[in-house]
Amino acid sequence: MESVTYTIVVPAYNESARISATLQKALHYAAGQGWNAEVIVVDDGSTDNTAEIVRRYAEEHPTLRLLENPGNRGKGYSVRNGMLHARGDVLLFSDADFSSPIEEAGKLFAAIAAGADIAIGSRWIRTDLQIRKQPLHRQLFGRMFNLALRLVLGLRYKDTQCGFKAFSRRAAEAIFPLQNIERWGFDPELLYLAKKFGFTVVELPVVWVHRDGTRINPVRDGLRMVSEMFKIRWNSWSGKYAAIQRQPQSS
C-alpha cells in the first residue's frame, strides 16, 4: 500500500449544502501544494445525501475516502473513526465548514515537522485573525469553559475547542484508541491524554471565521460538555487511562 504523508479527516453530519465546496477546496489545495495526501470524510449517520455526494467525488478522486458511522454517534466518534483508519504520517482533522481554511494546515504541518507531536489551531492567540467572530453568548461560554478546563484538567491552552488539530502518527496511535468521549467534549480529552502521555503540544494562531448553522445548543450541549469534563477526570482517577501513563519513546 502506498505511503501517505498527510491525512485530512473531515467529520460530517447533514453537510450536503457545503460538502462539495469543502471537498473541492481540500482536494484542489492538496494537489496544488504537491502533498502526498488523502482526505477522509466520516459521515455521522446523515439523513441527507452527504454520503452520496462524497461517493461521487471519490469515484473521480482516488485520494478521497468515505467512512460511515453506525448511525449518529457524534463528532468525537467521527474524528476517532477517521483517525484510526488514516494512513498518513501526519493526521489533521478539520470541521466540515473549514472555519479555519485548509490553507492554514501548513502552519500545523510545519510545527509537526519541527518536532511537535501535536499542533492545535487557536482562535484566541491572535483575535485579529478572526474574520467573523462568534456571537457574544458563545464567546462567553467558551471563556468560562476554558477556565473550568484549566482548573479541573490543568489544560493551559487558550483554545481547546478549535476544530483544527494535527497529530503525528505516533501521537495519534497512542491517544485515539483511548478516547471515549464521542460528542462535543472530546477535544479536552485528547489534550488531557496528550498531557498525561508527555507529548509536546504547540498552540498556533489560525485564521478563523464563524459559520452560521452550528448545531451546538449552548444549554444542552454546554451542560453535557461540563459533565464530560468531569468524566475525563474520573476516567483518569479510576485508571481508565492507565495504559498511557508512561513517557513516549524517542523515534
Domain region containing 91? 4-133+158-213
For the segment 132-180, what is each residue's pLDDT rounded down to a tens digit? 666 666 667 777 787 889 899 999 999 999 999 999 999 999 999 999 9
160 residue type, one letter? T
Q: What count of residues does the chain have?
A: 251
Give the H or E element holding residue 131: strand 130-132
Least confident residue range of 71-75, 224-228, 231-235: 224-228
User: Is residue 248 included in any domain, yes or no?
Assistant: no
**What CATH number has the domain bearing residue 180?**
3.90.550.10
pLDDT at residue number 223:
80
The answer to the question of residue 224 being in a domain is no
- In tens, the pLDDT along 187-223 reads 999 999 999 999 999 999 999 887 665 666 666 766 8
Dig out the grid coordinates for 146 from the structure.
476554558
Per-residue confidence (pLDDT) for residue 35, from 0 to 100: 96
In a domain, 191, yes or no: yes
User: What does the mean pLDDT of the chain come to?
Assistant: 89
Q: Is position 142 within any domain?
A: no
User: 152 lies in a domain?
Assistant: no
Average pLDDT, stretch 215-236? Answer: 81
60-67 own/partner pairs: CB under 8 Å, 24+ apart: 61/23, 61/27, 63/27, 63/30, 63/37, 63/38, 63/39, 64/23, 64/27, 64/38, 64/39, 64/40, 65/38, 65/39, 65/40, 65/41, 66/40, 66/41, 67/40, 67/41, 67/42, 67/43
Count the domains in the chain: 1
* Radius of gyration from C-alpha coordinates of the chain: 17
115 inside domain: yes
Does the residue 15 lie in any domain? yes
Domain membership of residue 82 (yes or no) is: yes
Q: What single letter denotes the amino acid at residue 227?
A: S
pTM of the model: 0.88
Write out the DSSP string of 20-79: HHHHHHHHHHHHHHT--EEEEEEE-S-SSSHHHHHHHHHHH-TTEEEEE-SS---HHHHH
DSSP 146-161: HHHHHHHH----S-S-
